[in-house]
C-alpha cells in the first residue's frame, strides 16, 4: 500500500468530492481518481460510493479511514519528536471560522499576528458550516456550538450579543419601531431556512412567534448589506452592527440574543508552538474586542 495513495484517500474522505480534494492537495482531479482506483485495486475493496452531496465512504472505506488516521497520527508524532516542531513558530494553521467573525474581527486584526510570527501561514476558511478538527479538516475552529465528541480540546473563546438593526434613513422613512409587534410591518432580513447550518442561528422565534424573513441569504455579510441599504430590518451580531455608523439598533431593551464562540482544537495539534501562539493571540484579541461584542 502506497502512503501517497493513503494520503489522498484521507483528503478525499474529508473533502467529500474529488474536485475539492484535488483543490486542497493542489493536484489534478484525474490524479486523485487514478490514485483512488489504484488503492481500491490494492485492497480489492470499493472505498467510496456516490451520495447526494458527492461521495461517501463505504463500510470498507470507514474501516480503512480508522487505520489511515492512526498512521497519520503516528507520522505527526514522529515528526514532532524528531524535528522539535512543537517549539517552532513556523508552518501553516488552517482555521475554520464563522464568516461574520472572520470578516469583521479576525481579518481586521490578523496583521498584528503576522507581524509577530511572519513564518506562520494562516488559512482562514470562512464558509457555511465548519471544518472538523477531529477529522483533521482544520487545525483549529471557532464554532457557534460546543462539540461534545472527538479527541478535542474545547473552551469558550468569547460571548457576544445580537440585536435588531435598521438603516437610519430607512427608519426615518418607515417610522420608528417600538415593539416586537411593530417588526411585522417591516420586511425582515435573515437566513435562508434550508441553509442554516447551526441551531444557534435560528433566533427569530426567540424574538416573537411566527416571525419570518422575506429577504434571505446564507451570508451574514450579505444580510448586513441588505440592512445597510435600507431593504428592511434584521438581526446582526453587535460586533457587526455597532461598527456601521449608518445602522441603528432598535428594541435594545426588548431584544438581546446571547451567543458564544467556542475555540476547538485537536488535542494533538494543541501541543504545537504555532497553534499555541495563535490561540494566545486569539485570547488577547477576545479581551480587546469585548466593547464591540455587546456583552460588557
Pairing mode of beta strands 152-167, 247-250: antiparallel
C-alpha of 244 from chain center: 23
Please tell me the predicted confidence (pLDDT) of residue 117.
87
Please give the domain boundaries of the chain with CATH numbers for all domains.
3-83 (1.10.10.10), 89-158+260-291 (3.40.190.10), 159-258 (3.40.190.10)
Against a cut of 0.75, is the pTM above it? no
Distance CA 234, CA 250 (A): 10
Please tell me the predicted confidence (pLDDT) of residue 88.
54
According to the 3-state scheme, what is the secondary structure of the chain? CCHHHHHHHHHHHHHCCHHHHHHHHCCCHHHHHHHHHHHHHHHCCCCEEEECCEEEECHHHHHHHHHHHHHHHHHHHHHHHHHCHHHCCCEEEEEEECHHHHHHHHHHHHHHHHHHCCCEEEEEECCCCCCCHHHCCCCEEEECCCCCCCCEEEEEEEEEEEEEEEEHHHHHHHCCCCCCHHHHHCCEEECCHHHCCCHHHCCHHHHCCCCCCCEECCCHHHHHHHHHCCCCEEEEEHHHHCCCCCEEEECCCCCCEEEEEEEEEECCHHHCHHHHHHHHHHHHHHHHCHHHHCCC
Listed residue (261, 283, 228) closest to 161, CA to CA: 261
Q: What are the pLDDT tens digits along the chain (296 aa)? A: 777 888 888 888 877 888 888 887 778 888 988 988 998 888 888 988 887 667 888 888 888 888 887 777 676 666 656 655 555 566 788 898 999 999 999 999 999 999 888 888 899 988 766 565 656 677 888 988 888 777 788 899 999 999 999 999 999 999 889 999 999 999 999 999 888 888 888 888 889 888 999 999 999 999 999 999 999 999 999 999 999 999 999 999 999 999 999 999 887 777 777 888 899 999 999 988 888 887 66
Distance CA 223, CA 189 (A): 6
How many alpha carbons fall within 13 Å on the CB side of residue 8?
25
Kindly report the number of other CB atoms within 10 A of residue 92's CB atom. Answer: 10
**Which three cell numbers mark 110?**
490578523
Distance CA 250, CA 245 (A): 14
Please tell me the predicted confidence (pLDDT) of residue 239.
94
Distance CA 170, CA 231 (A): 8
Are 11 and 47 within 8 A, CB to CB? no
Amino acid at each position: 500500500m502506497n502512503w501517497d495513495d493513503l494520503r489522498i484517500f484521507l483528503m478525499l474522505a474529508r473533502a467529500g468530492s474529488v474536485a475539492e480534494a484535488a483543490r486542497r492537495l493542489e493536484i489534478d482531479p484525474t490524479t486523485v481518481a487514478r490514485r483512488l482506483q489504484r488503492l481500491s485495486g490494492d485492497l480489492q475493496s470499493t472505498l467510496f460510493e456516490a451520495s447526494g452531496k458527492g461521495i461517501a465512504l463505504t463500510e470498507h472505506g470507514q474501516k480503512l479511514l480508522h487505520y489511515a488516521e492512526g498512521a497519520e497520527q503516528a507520522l505527526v508524532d514522529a515528526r514532532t519528536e524528531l524535528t522539535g516542531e512543537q517549539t517552532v513558530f513556523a508552518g501553516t494553521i488552517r482555521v475554520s471560522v464563522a464568516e461574520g467573525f472572520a470578516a469583521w474581527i479576525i481579518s481586521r486584526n490578523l496583521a498584528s499576528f503576522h507581524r509577530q510570527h511572519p513564518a506562520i501561514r494562516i488559512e482562514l476558511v470562512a464558509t457555511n458550516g465548519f471544518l472538523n478538527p477531529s477529522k483533521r479538516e482544520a487545525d483549529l475552529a471557532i464554532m457557534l456550538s460546543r462539540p461534545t465528541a472527538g479527541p478535542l480540546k474545547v473552551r469558550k473563546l468569547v460571548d457576544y450579543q445580537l440585536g435588531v438593526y435598521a438603516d437610519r434613513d430607512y427608519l426615518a422613512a418607515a417610522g420608528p419601531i417600538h415593539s416586537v409587534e411593530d417588526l411585522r410591518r417591516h420586511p425582515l432580513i435573515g437566513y435562508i431556512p434550508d441553509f442554516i447550518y447551526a441551531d444557534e442561528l435560528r433566533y427569530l422565534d426567540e424574538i416573537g412567534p411566527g416571525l419570518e424573513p422575506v429577504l434571505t441569504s446564507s451570508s451574514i455579510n450579505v444580510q448586513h448589506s441588505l440592512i445597510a441599504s435600507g431593504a428592511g430590518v434584521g438581526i446582526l451580531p453587535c460586533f457587526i452592527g455597532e461598527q456601521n455608523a449608518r445602522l441603528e439598533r432598535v428594541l435594545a431593551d426588548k431584544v438581546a440574543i446571547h451567543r458564544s464562540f467556542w475555540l476547538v482544537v485537536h488535542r494533538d495539534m494543541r501541543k504545537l508552538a504555532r497553534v499555541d501562539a495563535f490561540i494566545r493571540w486569539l485570547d488577547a484579541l477576545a479581551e480587546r474586542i469585548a466593547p464591540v461584542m455587546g456583552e460588557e
